[in-house]
Amino acid sequence: MSGTTSAQAEAITGAQNWDAVRERFPERVDQMADGLMVGDPLADAVIADVMSDSDLTWRTVLTALESPTDATTDSEALRAFLDHVTDTPEWFDAAVARAGARAWWRFGSLQVGTLYQSLIYGYQAQGFVRPLIETGRLSEGTWDRVVATGRWVTLATAPGMMAPGAPGWVETVRIRLVHAMVRHHLLARGWDSDEWGAPINQTYSQLTITAGFLILPLTIAKDLGIRYSSAELEAITHLWRYIGWTMGVEPARLPVDFADATEIRTISREFRLRPVDASRVLVKALLDDGYRTAVGLPGPLDGVLHHLTKPLLRPFFSAISARWVDPEVVRAMGLRTTPLHHVVGLARPLVRSREVVRTLGLLGAERSVAQREFRLVTRGLGIDDDDFADFGDRYRHVDEGRMDTVA
């Protein structure tokens, strides 16, 4: 039996049927209940050191991430943290992860585009939005949040970018430490862990990585007509398992294969959640300010184009997003189901035609296809893709033997 009672878990998450879901998946649901009370001890120790009277500064920590194996520090907490995140887990297979990255980036622009749905997925849960409520960042900085999330997904999933010291790895570990900093500040300000669970806890991190950023985008891809082989699905899962591990999700909470990841997503959908008022505020902010219409026009013309197209795009994004949200929470989230969501069906023939053309080799080698998708995304996010033009090849030498051709 879990150390956290069903009543506690139900109160923390807002799930109205915790016991019923537990009857079907007792071991995993008990694990989720316990995870509601757990943060990230290694990262939390680093931030505690930064916030103490020690000589460790945030700038020093960020500098250490750039060359983690060569970094010198008097902080035992930082040394333990760096030793851990650079010690690749035994289950990691670099070749499989690289194959997953290549498969992901075959339609990389679409996959990164699904981050809107990934964010909306998280907004359903009151425990996910509670830290944003407490920090007062519900409707502020939405576009910056979207860009930051898109940058992380882009760099973390690109081939070669998750080697220690590489951009995707640095961004992932930096976000992990930012989460620890948020936890530190919230707890210092009187966060009630008994009532709300640990801020940015293990269970929400598990569900965000596995359900929100792995299974949901693959579900949307399938809906659009993209087909992955079983081997590709396993490879993509392996890549995200490693990303989750680097982000600080405990190993036992990460999916060992695609079927395991699917079960985690199934459990998350079984919970009947009650979105709070803040959920609606966050979704409204995302629909109002979570995108930009930009085609590279000179001067302020892109801004004018965005202003003119926004009234048309907002209902479109709302309808499309509602397609992948459970019907009972659509209205509570401020979304609307309209016939516009059928545009997904209209897109399928185009997507499948593109796949036929790609399979025939008319779009070039898979690597070239992935690189073009990568450049399209990085330019849209304002990332200087010249820095990553080699698609991670410069990091293939890192710790050769265990990390050769690391994803």
Q: What is the model's pLDDT at position 401?
A: 39
Place of tokens 């680097």: 246
CA distance 326 to 338: 14
**C-alpha angle 242-244-247 in degrees, rounded to nearest 5:** 110
Can you give the pTM of this predicted structure?
Answer: 0.90
Residue 210 has a CB neighbour count (10 Å cut-off) of 26
Dihedral of CA atoms 130, 155, 214, 310 in degrees, nearest 10, equals 70
CA distance 113 to 360: 26
Place of tokens 């309209």: 338
Using DSSP, state whether 5 is helix, strand or coil: coil
Please choose, from the candidates 241, 257, 37, 286, the residue with its C-alpha nearest in 3D space to the C-alpha of residue 139: 286
Cα 243 from chain centroid (whole Å): 9
pLDDT in tens, the chain (407 residues): 458 898 999 999 989 899 999 999 999 999 999 999 999 999 999 999 999 978 899 999 999 999 998 888 889 999 999 999 999 999 999 999 999 999 999 888 777 778 778 888 888 888 888 888 887 666 677 888 888 888 999 999 998 899 999 999 999 999 999 999 999 999 999 999 999 999 999 999 999 999 999 999 999 999 988 889 999 999 999 999 999 999 999 999 999 999 999 999 999 999 988 888 888 888 888 888 777 666 555 667 666 666 777 777 778 778 888 888 888 788 888 888 888 777 888 888 888 888 888 888 888 888 888 888 888 888 777 776 666 666 666 655 443 334 333 44
DSSP assignments along 271-301, one per residue = S-----HHHHHHHHHHHHHS-------STTH
